[in-house]
Amino acid sequence: MADRAWNVPAAGGSVLDRWPDIAAAVSSRLPEHVQAVAFHPESGQLDLRPDSPAYATQLRLITARIITTANEAVGIDTVRTVRVLAAGSAPAPRAAEPSPAATAVPEASVKTRDTASLGYRQALAAHQAAAPARRVDPGIAEAVERQTRAMRELSRRAFPEQDPDGGAALLEETRTKGRRAAEASHSRALRRAQAERA
């Protein structure tokens, strides 16, 4: 089992099977109020379900003692963490599924408009003849169009689309303006210095 790395899952099964003894070694009342639900060998996690929130709190407080006692009981360090489930959160046992023969439903023919009864077709025709045709109010359509144009314009202003070349041109224009401003400032500084010397 050790050569094939089966010892941890097997030890985890032992923890679940021997949980009443392990729980009794931790506390005499624990086996009556806490159930070992699952063991995850890949993470070393033991899932425990208490029957009340008070026992859930107690389990969280004595987690280290539970881990130590469980590992001593199976003789290998398999349990690394304990997860305390909510009270009453253990999955219910699966009910036996009924046999397919018992649940088989006789197939009924699918009804469409073409295969519907004569009364249905007459009622449908009468409804379609009496129902008013849907008309679009021109005022509403015009208002929707105006609103759509306004939203597009706002969107265009807020998020202007720039092509990559336009972005490069804008960057170059900004740099040119910066250079011109620096040159103008430099010229003013030179003139001022000359004036002060004179």
Confirm whether 19 is domain-assigned: yes
Per-residue pLDDT of 41-59, as tens digits, reads 888 899 999 998 888 888 8
pTM exceeding 0.95: no
Residue 194 belongs to what domain range?
140-198
Confirm whether 126 is domain-assigned: no
Confirm whether 102 is domain-assigned: no
Last residue of a domain, one of 38, 66, 84: 84
Confirm whether 23 is domain-assigned: yes
Model confidence at 92, pLDDT cuts 50, 70, 90, reads very low
Q: Which CATH number does the domain housing residue 22 bear?
A: 3.30.300
Model confidence at 94, pLDDT cuts 50, 70, 90, reads very low
Three-state SS for the chain is CCCCCCHHHHHHHHHHHCHHHHHHHHCCCHHHHEEEEEEECCCCEEEEEECCHHHHHHHHHCHHHHHHHHHHHHCCCCCCEEEECCCCCCCCCCCCCCCHHHHCCCCCCCCCCCCCCHHHHHHHHHHHHHCCCCCCCHHHHHHHHHHHHHHHHHHHHHCCCCCHHHHHHHHHHHHHHHHHHHHHHHHHHHHHHHHHHC
**Tokens found for residue 196:** 């002060």
Last residue of a domain, one of 40, 60, 84: 84
pLDDT of 83 above 80: yes
**174/113: higher pLDDT:** 174
Per-residue pLDDT of 139-187, as tens digits, reads 888 998 999 999 888 888 877 665 445 556 667 788 888 889 889 998 9
Q: Which of 6-20, 65-79, 120-134 has the lowest mean pLDDT?
A: 6-20
Confirm whether 176 is domain-assigned: yes
Q: How many domains does the chain have?
A: 2
Confirm whether 116 is domain-assigned: no
Last residue of a domain, one of 84, 101, 127: 84
Confirm whether 27 is domain-assigned: yes
Do both 80 and 145 map to the same domain? no
pLDDT of 138 above 80: yes
Per-residue pLDDT, averaged over 120-132, amounts to: 81
Model confidence at 10, pLDDT cuts 50, 70, 90, reads low
Confirm whether 89 is domain-assigned: no
State how far the Cα of 150 lies from the Cα of 94, in Å rounded to an integer: 60
Per-residue pLDDT of 16-38, as tens digits, reads 888 899 989 888 888 899 999 98
